[in-house]
Amino acid sequence: MKLRNFATRLLAGASLAGVTLMLVSCAASNIVDFLYVTSNLQSPGQINVYEVDSESGQLYQLADSPYPSGGINPVYEVSSPNGQNLYVANHDDNSVVMFAIGTDGKLYPLQTITTPGTEPVALAINAAGTALYVLDYYAPAAPGQPSYTDLNPGPGAVIVYTINPSNGDLSTTPLSNGVADYWSVQCFPSNLAVTPDGNELYVTNTNSVVVTTAPPVTGTIPIRPSTCPSSGTVSEFAVNSTSGNGGAQTVTGLTEISGSPLSTGAGSAPTGIAADPGNGSIYVTDSALNVVDSFAIQSGGTLSLAAAVPTGNMPMAATAAGKAGSPGTDLYVSNYNDGSISSYSLSAGVPTPITTTSSGTSGPLCMVVDPELDRYFYVADYIGGRVGGAFVNPTTGALTLNEGEPYATQGQPTCVAAIGHAGNAQGLQ
């Protein structure tokens, strides 16, 4: 995609020490989480691994980090709910790599799968850790027809892989949808989210090409096919499942909900999406209209617009998190063009603005709040080539830059994921 010049960094006075690569490990007793940051500057891609200090939130990179991502241009990652595995989507070679996570945070690549379509852009995992949802920018072409590419663009696709909860392995083939092995969505999809109860899956379709310096980056900007809607939409799916061993959800497929896809309005280009942990709402960032839409989940999984709240310039991602002891009460939105993070309280049921901060970034994308304490916030700063970090106020949800940030990476970080140190039980060394 076309490059834009983002020369102005909003965080003034960041010290040189703040961007120095940290290689000295903190004391083991202070490690509260491991943070994983994908970077696509090099080929193959890289995964930077950091220990999170429980007292300050400062990051310390593991001595043998970064690790290869197992493919080219890693753009997205998710960790398993039990903290034992990491799944990474490599955009340019259509692969998803499963890593085992050691008790020391180290990564061990164990499995690589190739998606049916091309250019995977996002991943989601259900709370039971039994299904991985992969979003391909382009669906497989019909038999006998040319493949969809940037020169021959077409619809996107959701692919569903089951996960063996005992070891994190993905099924070698995706679930079937009749004669197909995917569920079609609309054009140029950007992200997807599964509700915490695992019952619904939602996909944002931009139906246009959002031009940034961040991935997916291509030398050829696709022309929107005439079959694509003129505005953005959200595809709505009910998850077909049964109760497996120990009551865990066993996913068997998807059913598109009646009335799907839902239009997000004229001129819209929805990019990021997050599910409220209370299963009651979906939040969608709109990179063209500069708002975050709050949708109430109705009976049967249909969405109803409850509010549209202003954001910064070009919001790209959203994550719902909670104050300590009260999960799901705050929402954070990364605004790519003005290098800021917008914070919102969800206590009123819809996003209520708290504050906007630079959070140590100049081109923020993917975000995460540490899973162990709900105290520290991290964001991938694609343009700055760093990781921004902040302290989450446990009372208000507001962000304050934390010690030592921003933190260096291998360049062009695309996404962040984290596991709680106490929750890791894989046992690899």
Neighbours of 59 (CB within 10 A): 28
Please write the tens of the pLDDT for every residue from 359-395.
566 889 999 999 998 899 999 999 999 999 999 998 8
On average, the pLDDT of the chain sits at: 87
**Lowest pLDDT segment from 12-21, 30-39, 72-81, 267-276:** 12-21
Would you say residue 5 lies in a domain? no
Residue 6: the pLDDT is: 25
- Per-residue buried b or exposed e for 371-381, using 16+ beta carbons within 10 Å of the residue's own CB: bbbbbbbbbbb
Range of the domain at 305: 17-423
Would you say residue 9 lies in a domain? no
- 13 burial level (CB within 10 Å; 0-12, 13-18, 19+): exposed
- How many domains is the chain built from? 1
Contact status, residue 156 vs residue 138, Cβ threshold 8 Å: yes
Would you say residue 35 lies in a domain? yes
Would you say residue 3 lies in a domain? no
Would you say residue 7 lies in a domain? no
- For position 97, which CATH number holds? 2.130.10.10
C-alpha neighbours within 13 Å on the C-beta side of residue 265 = 16
- Cβ-based neighbours of 62, under 8 Å, separated by 6 or more: 25, 49, 50, 51, 104, 105, 106
Q: What element of type H or E holds 160?
A: strand 155-162
Look at residues 21, 74, 10 and name the one whose alpha carbon lies nearest to residue 387: 21
Cα(350)–Cα(273) distance, integer angstroms: 15
Would you say residue 6 lies in a domain? no
- The answer, yes or no, to whether residue 158 has pLDDT greater than 60, is yes
Tell me the helices (H) and strands (E) count for the chain, helix number first: 0, 31
> What's the chain's length in residues?
429
Would you say residue 290 lies in a domain? yes
pLDDT band at 396 (very low <50, low <70, confident <90, very high): confident
Look at residues 75, 174, 194, 54 and name the one whose alpha carbon lies nearest to residue 129: 194
Would you say residue 345 lies in a domain? yes
Side chain identity at residue 310, one-letter code? P
- 72 burial level (CB within 10 Å; 0-12, 13-18, 19+): middle
- The answer, yes or no, to whether residue 4 has pLDDT greater than 60, is no
Please write the tens of the pLDDT for every residue from 316-360.
999 998 754 455 689 999 999 999 999 999 988 799 999 888 756
Which residues pair with residue 342 across a beta bridge? 333, 356
Q: Stretch 153-166: mean pLDDT, rounded?
A: 96
